[in-house]
Amino acid sequence: MTEPSVSIVEVSPRDGLQNEDAIVATADKIALVARLVSIGATRIEVASFVNPRRVPQMVDAEQVVAGLPDDPRVSYIGLCLNERSVDRAIASRLGARGVDEAGCVIVATDNFGIANQGQTVADGIVANRAMIAKANAAGMLAQVTIAASFGCPFEGAVPQARVLDIAEMMAEAGAQEIAFADTIGVAVPSQVGEMFLRAYERLGRAFRLRVHLHDTRGMAPGNAWAAYQAGCRTFDGALGGLGGCPFAPNAAGNVATEELLYLFHRSGVATGYDLAAALAANTWFAGVMGRPLPSRVGRAGDFVAQNTIQRERQVA
Which structural domain, as residue segments, surrounds residue 102?
A: 7-315
- pLDDT class for 307, splitting at 50, 70, 90? low
Is 269 domain-assigned? yes
Whichever domain contains 227, its CATH number is: 3.20.20.70
User: Is 232 a known active-site residue?
Assistant: no
Residues 6+ apart with CB under 8 A from 202: 164, 167, 168
pLDDT exceeds cutoff 80 at 105: yes
- By mean pLDDT, which of 95-109, 152-166, 206-220, 299-313 is the weakest? 299-313
pLDDT in tens, 55-100: 999 999 999 999 999 999 999 999 999 999 999 999 999 988 999 9
Is 229 domain-assigned? yes
The predicted model gives 104-120 an average pLDDT of 95
pLDDT exceeds cutoff 60 at 164: yes
Is 2 domain-assigned? no
Is 1 domain-assigned? no
Is 249 domain-assigned? yes
Is 297 domain-assigned? yes
Is 243 domain-assigned? yes
Q: Give the active site residue among 104, 152, 232, 245.
A: 245
Is 22 domain-assigned? yes
Q: What is the DSSP letter of 235?
A: E
In the chain, the number of structural domains is 1
pTM: 0.94
pLDDT exceeds cutoff 70 at 135: yes
